[in-house]
Amino acid sequence: MVAQSVTELLRSYLSSVNGVVGIYISDKDGARMVGVSIEDAPEQAFMNYVVTTFIGSIQQLCKLGLGEVNHMITKYQDMTICQFNYIGDESVPPVYLTVVGTNNCDLGVLTSLEVPLRPILQALSKKAAARFQSEAMMTRNDAGDHFYRVLHADSA
């Protein structure tokens, strides 16, 4: 899957889904892997802290024994942000899908976008895992094979 084709596919959702102004996918560290937005999308929705705050929130909720969080919707005055935690396979790190909508967009439409994007999320998750593996080879780690660990409510 070429990055250009992923970008084109994400861009098709911008034009076909009313109220969606941006979509991006981030790795386990919150670094953006791919994303698209319309020209006048709210800039603050695309800041790195948006994803890292979501990652921190889902980790803390799991540690508190409140269960796994698959998605979270945050509504602001001028935008709605829907974020998804995608864990396709526990042998690869999670990736995070962020969909940014207008303040009056249909929440059902925002939450339904994750399902058709799962093949892309799976492919990007594998690419992220390969990158993290090569980084792990360069930086020896005695804690195990991976720098990441999928947390479950019963293992926190």
pLDDT digits (tens, 9 = 90+) for 114-124: 999 999 998 88
Q: What is the mean pLDDT of the chain?
A: 82
CATH number at residue 71: 3.30.450.30
Helices (H), 75-113: 107-112
Strands 32-37 and 95-102: unpaired
Range(s) of the domain holding residue 45: 3-155
DSSP 8-state assignment for residue 91: T
In the chain, how many domains are there? 1
- pLDDT band, residue 2 (cuts 50/70/90): low
Contact criterion met (CB below 8 Å) for 37 and 21 = yes
pLDDT exceeding 70 applies to what percent of the chain?
A: 81
147: left (phi over 0), alpha (psi -120 to 50) or beta: alpha
